[in-house]
Structure 1
Amino acid sequence: MAPDLRALAEHHGLTTAYDDPFEEGAARPVPDATLRLVLQGLGMDPGGAPSGPGAARRMTVPRGAECWLPPGLKDAPGWGIFCQLYELRSARNWGIGDFADLTKLAGICGAAGADFLGINPVHALFLAAPDRRSPFSPSNRRFLNPLYIAPDLVEGVAPPGDLPALRAAESVDYPAVARAKIGALRRAFDRGVDRAALDRFAAEGGAPLRLHALFEAISRDMVDRGHGAGWRDWPEELRDPGSAEVRGLAEALSDEVRFHIWLQMIARRQLSDAAGAAREAGMRIGLYLDLAVGEVPDGSSTWSGAAAALPGLTVGAPPDMFAARGQNWELAAPSPAELVRTDFAPFREMIRAQLTEAGALRIDHAMALWQLFLIPEGASPAEGTHLRYPFPDMIAALAELSQRHEAVVIGEDLGFVPKGFRRAMGQANVLSYRILVFEQDESGFRPRRSYPELALACLSTHDLPVLGEWWRGTDVEVRRRYGLVDAEQSGAAAAHRRTERAALVERLRRSGTLRGRVPAAAAELPEEVLDAAHRFLARTPSLLTAVRLADLVGPDIQTNVPGTTDEHPNWQPRSPTDISRIAAHPRFARITGLMRAERPRPAAPDAPT
């Protein structure tokens, strides 16, 4: 590598080497081609010399940049429940949990004493390719997934004949759900809607909403013609939203465009109703939404330019002990230069779109506020490099919006966390994300006093099994079955899980949350251990703790197995428990009762006379 290329790259916030996870003290140099590609994407001449202001080198939190926390939360820490929205089962939904189910669940959880109800990301995916179902691979984070619309609440919608089969299914059949829902909604739209309300919503949404709706309309047309749903599989002349061909198609598909704007209007109204129900149920925080770390390279956001994406690069993670080849998340990377040029308008608008209804926002891979690991498209993750982002400006914008909307911010800080990042998060009132099964060191599970105050503590997350399956080691077997580990690694992991079970029982016993003799060798998770684990989390100093609904009422099957696509039914398992039976479910009643006792909601102030 030429010295001037290295100096230029480092000046603009790129790492030119990263630690080798398999050889202590060694470093892996970043290929010259990667550095040139990133510099070109930033608008820099790779052959030039460093000039002008460089990338931020310190995680400086500007004075006053503090995210909002509910008054009294430090005196009376809170708790809540989170779930995957699609997994909810009810007698009225169409084979997928929807915003009406969310409204009802908010009432149930609020009555149980919860301060928030969290769900998976509900960003717009691809209606023309409904099996692209990962909520963490969105087409556009500013808009909503219309598959979560409750069609029976929309005037003029007639139910299809295949509803019984959709409702009885154990897994969400996304293509079938999309055919039923979008077909019925389209027929209702064609019969007539409130055009004045639709025009107002379209005007408020402006060009970004129109472009997203146009993308969806063209995407549907392209799939019907044998192309892919993403714009990279479209004819060249349609890849630029400003082309004459796109303008012509927009006119030809104008009714379809208005239909997609109408879908966004209905989805936004129904999500807003759920947020209102959460507040009316007494929750101090309300809905807790989840923000994916990025958008896919062929989606609405990159096509319209809203993503401000760096060309030819995707986001992932470098090789480490858990993923020897590294990880490629196949997400577009925003350009820090473009964010600065636009005064962070794309970032602000994307955050604002979440906080319209959210009382709390979880930011997936929160380290993206400081840096992202970028990989040239088609290359191995080992050929990637970290690129720093303007952290002070981004954290200031995030804090401003958090305060304006009175929303708690939670930063998912798992995996490789740069030195000083958690300290900076704390200064900005961004809560850390602490998972019980990860809170271990060489001596076993950490004591509850080690959990930070500015944190949300929980048992597990969507990439992990529920505690009962963790206890059985089902996830270890699943990874072996899918070829993610070999027989030797699987055997070692199974043996380690037995050690972990004993260590968990010991920690719970020493903490005083588990009493009596509970065998760590039990084949199934003892209910006493499940209770004690929740009680343990409730007694940590963390301001928030979360209960995973699946731990209480199912489903038991793992939500998502990282490293798999179609081998495992990722993002499809449905709850075996109808939402109408959740409140009376013995485990739900017991666990929410103990959480309520450990973290009682403070009495509401007296109403003025």
Structure 2
Amino acid sequence: MSESDIQAPPEVDADLAALATVHGVATEYEDNTGSMRPVPGETVRAVLHALGVPAADEKEVLASLDDAEVAPWRRFLPPSAVVRAGQTTTIPVHAPADTSVVLTLQLEDGTELPMALRPDTIAPRLVDGVPIARSFVDLPEDLPQGWHRLRAAVGEGRRHRAHRRATTTVAVVPQRLPDPLDGGRGWGAMAQLYSMRSAHSWGLGDLADLAELADLTGTLGGDFLLINPLHAAEPTAPMSDSPYLPATRRFVNPIYIRPEDIREAAYLAGPERALVHWAAEEVREMNSSAELLNRNAVWSAKSEALSVIYAAPRSLARQSAFERFRAREGRGLEDFALWCALYEEHGNSPWPPELLDAYGPHVARVRRRLAGRIDFFAWLQWVADEQLAAAQRQASQSGMGIGIMHDLAVGVHGSSAEVWTDAEVFATGVTVGAPPDMYNQQGQDWSQPPWRPDRLAETGYAPLRNMLRTVLRHAGAIRVDHIMGLFRLWWVPQGRPASEGTYVTYDGEAMLGVLLLEASRAGAVVIGEDLGTVEPEVREQLAERGVLGSDVLWFAKSRKGRPLPPSRYRTGALATVTTHDLPPSAGYLAGEHVDLRRRLGLLTRPAEVERMAFESERAAILNALRSEGLINEDPTEREIVEALHGYVARTAAVLVGMAFTDAVGERRTQNQPGTFTEYPNWRLPLADGAEEPVSIEELARSPRLHSLVERIRTEMDRADLARHARAEAGPRE
């Protein structure tokens, strides 16, 4: 196709651009090459429509502009406020003129503080036939961190119902999270838990295996274990393989439960014990198989066993503990368990219309009918929570400074429990993705509906808050996948390619503040995956607030495109050699990512050009390793892999990560972005370079693992001593 055949996107006129700007919709963006790209007008209008903003023609655009201008005056109080601790914050109040307004701030502990109004200097404005005056309330700077409520009410006898009373959420959040490891440095391991199997697994790695891996990592001197998201998937087959496309991020996938570790399993009678044993035998032979992982078979066997254990009597104390768990989790757990029960009956096929309203009268009747199944699915979450707690305890007991590092996915799939229970918070007609870049040249569509920024604010960020509390409950750290999603997301209108999306802005200050508040309460470290196109000011803001970044060796380049020297890596980061979206180091060094994308038709330039670019990249990194004295002139693959980790260990990064795949010589990537069925994403068991499976027991005995860990620890110690010596010597004259 010639350049003359490529049509330029429709131009966005000044009025449409103004409306888009008001609602945080980009009309142009900077691509991965630094060039500015215009957004098609059709995309802009579709995204505005998904935000509930009419913009089909010029008349609608102008009317929507007028509505946007007057919208704040129609609100008694803003939808929510997220403020930093120690800062004075001003909140606007709009009420009918010549009325008295009573303001009260109710703190999280129930304390009530009267608030005073400060009148504005501008005259009242006529809004919908009512003169509205604007005033301000100044919140004191010494408010405690937490979730508070600001309440406003006008005097009695007013007819203006819209301004009679209002309540808004006020979240007071930390200025900054403390430095991890008391300002020291540490290393840790990274694992796709489902792929890490032991002799007692049920065909997939589970929470008992997580405890074993944590103990292994801690015994080797590691401070953290980063794992894939454990978010809940569908409760019946077919179950999604991707841990990044869950049914909810708030609850856990019960496929990770180890049935035998449930206390009641130890007291089963002979016949019931045999049923659990037989179920395990059906899948346990998979533990030593090199075949692709089969979640559906595993869940079929495991759910049978769990049903048997669930039916066993529980002691009074155990039943009380379960009931307390349900009470603590509240409506969120009950709604998710109901969704699971309904999914059992209706699957992924279109549900009857009367079931689409999660809070309608028909669903209320169904809730009563399915009470038994709801109890079962709530019980699964309780059991998973107990086993997660045990894994984190084991991590601490093994000497880890941080423990389990959980991963938070960007979103959920369109027919998920979250969309069903919180439908009003999600945008329709669009999905989340990413624009084209060097590794995904056609862009990415992640098939996830995005949260609407306006609706999040109106809920007081409750969906984000509730999700974070669950994920952080038994975590020493959290890695936030695509942390730019707190600030902006790439929205793709349905039916259009991922390259024809646009960015939608979120209130990053508020979203980040909620994350910091919940992480602070959990005592957790926060790592933001800030790879790809990220504005410098966003990285600066994350660093200012104590959020670590992510530095990946293959992506860390100087402005001239050369490997970034260890001395120029960020201190406030988790530094690694690779990620789960790339082949392990041995595979990357062989250029398998180029060959794979060529086979799958994912390249946008000739394979020969891609291969030449990779050969140049590999030569540059080998030269960098030689310049650091980490390899000789003719190193083996294993020596290069260890040298790559030694290179990262020499950086000042506060955390250094090592993938278990690199510790066994695995070459295959766990996930190839831009594919769905074309590649077996998230289904590969841990294996060595010959694709022979490696169990956790074999991993623990692996000379290659111990050698790699020793290289990391040695290089970290040398680098730290060198930096300390330079600091002691002081600046050169």
Distance, in Å, in 2 between the alignment partners of 1:599 and 1:560 is 30
In the alignment, which of 537, 557, 563 is matched to residue 668 of structure 2? 557
Matched, 1:464 2:574: no
Question: Measured at CA, do residues 457 and 30 of structure 1 come closer, stay the same or move farther in structure 2, by a change above 3 Å?
Answer: farther
CA contact (8 A) 1:318 1:382 kept: yes
Tell me the CA shift for residue 295 of structure 1: 1.4
Distance, in Å, in 2 between the alignment partners of 1:315 and 1:262 is 32
Distance, in Å, in 1 between the alignment partners of 2:54 and 2:479 is 28
Distance, in Å, in 1 between the alignment partners of 2:709 and 2:211 is 19
Tell me the CA shift for residue 397 of structure 1: 1.8
In the alignment, which of 27, 31, 53 is matched to residue 38 of structure 2? 27
Tell me the CA shift for residue 291 of structure 1: 0.3
- Does the residue aligned with 2:197 lie in a helix, a strand or coil? coil
Aligned equivalent of 2:126 = none
Tell me the CA shift for residue 209 of structure 1: 0.1
- Does the residue aligned with 2:336 lie in a helix, a strand or coil? helix
Distance, in Å, in 1 between the alignment partners of 2:596 and 2:626 is 30
In the alignment, which of 598, 602, 608 is matched to residue 484 of structure 1? 602
Structure 2 residue runs without a partner (length 5+): 1-11, 88-173, 687-692, 721-733
CA contact (8 A) 1:286 1:359 kept: yes
CA contact (8 A) 2:566 2:651 kept: yes
Matched, 1:102 2:210: yes
Question: What amino acid sits opposite 1:6 in the alignment?
Answer: A
Question: Measured at CA, do residues 82 and 322 of structure 1 come closer, stay the same or move farther in structure 2, by a change above 3 Å?
Answer: closer
Aligned equivalent of 1:14 = 25
Question: Measured at CA, do residues 190 and 535 of structure 1 come closer, stay the same or move farther in structure 2, by a change above 3 Å?
Answer: same
In the alignment, which of 62, 67, 70 is matched to residue 180 of structure 2? 70
Distance, in Å, in 2 between the alignment partners of 1:22 and 1:545 is 28
Tell me the CA shift for residue 151 of structure 1: 1.3
Deviates more, 1:154-163 or 1:211-220: 154-163
Aligned equivalent of 1:122 = 230
> Over alpha carbons, which structure has the higher Rg?
2
Aligned equivalent of 1:212 = 336
Deviates more, 1:185-194 or 1:340-349: 185-194
Distance, in Å, in 1 between the alignment partners of 2:616 and 2:502 is 37
CA contact (8 A) 1:116 1:285 kept: yes
Question: What amino acid sits opposite 1:477 in the alignment?
Answer: D
With normalisation by structure 2, the TM-score equals: 0.75
- Does the residue aligned with 2:532 lie in a helix, a strand or coil? coil
Aligned equivalent of 2:531 = 414
Q: Deviations for 1:370-412, whole angstroms, at most 9, x for unmatched residues?
A: 1111122333334432211111122222222222222111111
Distance, in Å, in 2 between the alignment partners of 1:146 and 1:484 is 34
Distance, in Å, in 1 between the alignment partners of 2:51 and 2:284 is 55
Question: Measured at CA, do residues 539 and 34 of structure 1 come closer, stay the same or move farther in structure 2, by a change above 3 Å?
Answer: same
Question: What amino acid sits opposite 1:40 in the alignment?
Answer: G
Matched, 1:163 2:276: no
Aligned equivalent of 2:549 = 432
CA contact (8 A) 2:441 2:602 kept: no
Deviates more, 1:282-291 or 1:318-327: 318-327
- Does the residue aligned with 2:180 lie in a helix, a strand or coil? coil
Deviates more, 1:348-357 or 1:102-111: 348-357
Q: Deviations for 1:511-570, whole angstroms, at most 9, x for unmatched residues?
A: 2333x3225xxxxx5222122111111110111110001101254321011122222221
Matched, 1:184 2:305: yes
Question: Measured at CA, do residues 35 and 597 of structure 1 come closer, stay the same or move farther in structure 2, by a change above 3 Å?
Answer: closer
In the alignment, which of 517, 532, 545 is matched to residue 633 of structure 2? 517
Tell me the CA shift for residue 17 of structure 1: 2.9
CA contact (8 A) 2:283 2:297 kept: no
In the alignment, which of 600, 615, 618 is matched to residue 501 of structure 1? 618
Tell me the CA shift for residue 347 of structure 1: 1.3
Question: Measured at CA, do residues 540 and 315 of structure 1 come closer, stay the same or move farther in structure 2, by a change above 3 Å?
Answer: same
Distance, in Å, in 1 between the alignment partners of 2:454 and 2:684 is 41
Question: Which structure has the highest strand share of the two?
Answer: 2
CA contact (8 A) 1:42 1:336 kept: no
In the alignment, which of 507, 528, 531 is matched to residue 390 of structure 1? 507
CA contact (8 A) 1:456 1:542 kept: yes
Distance, in Å, in 1 between the alignment partners of 2:504 and 2:208 is 41
Deviates more, 1:468-477 or 1:173-182: 468-477
Deviates more, 1:150-159 or 1:205-214: 150-159
- Does the residue aligned with 1:7 lie in a helix, a strand or coil? helix
Distance, in Å, in 2 between the alignment partners of 1:169 and 1:526 is 26
Aligned equivalent of 2:459 = 342
Question: Measured at CA, do residues 6 and 496 of structure 1 come closer, stay the same or move farther in structure 2, by a change above 3 Å?
Answer: closer
With normalisation by structure 1, the TM-score equals: 0.90
Aligned equivalent of 1:522 = none
Deviates more, 1:369-378 or 1:536-545: 369-378
CA contact (8 A) 1:41 1:310 kept: no
Tell me the CA shift for residue 470 of structure 1: 0.8
Tell me the CA shift for residue 24 of structure 1: 5.1
For these two proteins, the number of residue pairs brought into alignment is 583
Deviates more, 1:196-205 or 1:406-415: 196-205
Structure 1 segments, 4+ long, off by >6 Å, are 20-23, 41-45, 60-63
RMSD: 2.7
Question: Measured at CA, do residues 448 and 19 of structure 1 come closer, stay the same or move farther in structure 2, by a change above 3 Å?
Answer: closer
Tell me the CA shift for residue 35 of structure 1: 4.3
Q: Deviations for 1:42-68, whole angstroms, at most 9, x for unmatched residues?
A: 99985322425699xxxx988652123
CA contact (8 A) 1:295 1:307 kept: no
In the alignment, which of 376, 379, 385 is matched to residue 259 of structure 1? 376
Matched, 1:197 2:317: no
- Does the residue aligned with 1:583 lie in a helix, a strand or coil? helix
Residues 518-597 of structure 1 correspond to what in structure 2 (within 5 A)?
518=634, 526-553=637-664, 555-575=666-686, 576-597=693-714
CA contact (8 A) 2:433 2:447 kept: yes
Deviates more, 1:111-120 or 1:424-433: 424-433
Matched, 1:473 2:572: no
Distance, in Å, in 2 between the alignment partners of 1:274 and 1:107 is 9
Residues 284-303 of structure 1 correspond to what in structure 2 (within 5 A)?
284-303=401-420
CA contact (8 A) 1:65 1:395 kept: no
- Does the residue aligned with 1:131 lie in a helix, a strand or coil? coil
Aligned equivalent of 1:38 = 50
Question: Measured at CA, do residues 408 and 553 of structure 1 come closer, stay the same or move farther in structure 2, by a change above 3 Å?
Answer: same
Distance, in Å, in 1 between the alignment partners of 2:480 and 2:410 is 7
Question: What amino acid sits opposite 1:283 in the alignment?
Answer: M
CA contact (8 A) 2:410 2:481 kept: yes
- Does the residue aligned with 1:494 lie in a helix, a strand or coil? helix
Tell me the CA shift for residue 259 of structure 1: 0.7
CA contact (8 A) 2:192 2:227 kept: yes
Q: Deviations for 1:336-380, whole angstroms, at most 9, x for unmatched residues?
A: 112222222221111121111111111011001111111223333
Question: Measured at CA, do residues 71 and 107 of structure 1 come closer, stay the same or move farther in structure 2, by a change above 3 Å?
Answer: closer
Matched, 1:139 2:255: no
Question: What amino acid sits opposite 2:186 in the alignment?
Answer: G
Tell me the CA shift for residue 313 of structure 1: 2.2
CA contact (8 A) 2:48 2:54 kept: no
Question: What amino acid sits opposite 1:7 in the alignment?
Answer: A
CA contact (8 A) 1:466 1:550 kept: yes
CA contact (8 A) 2:254 2:384 kept: yes
Question: What amino acid sits opposite 1:120 in the alignment?
Answer: N
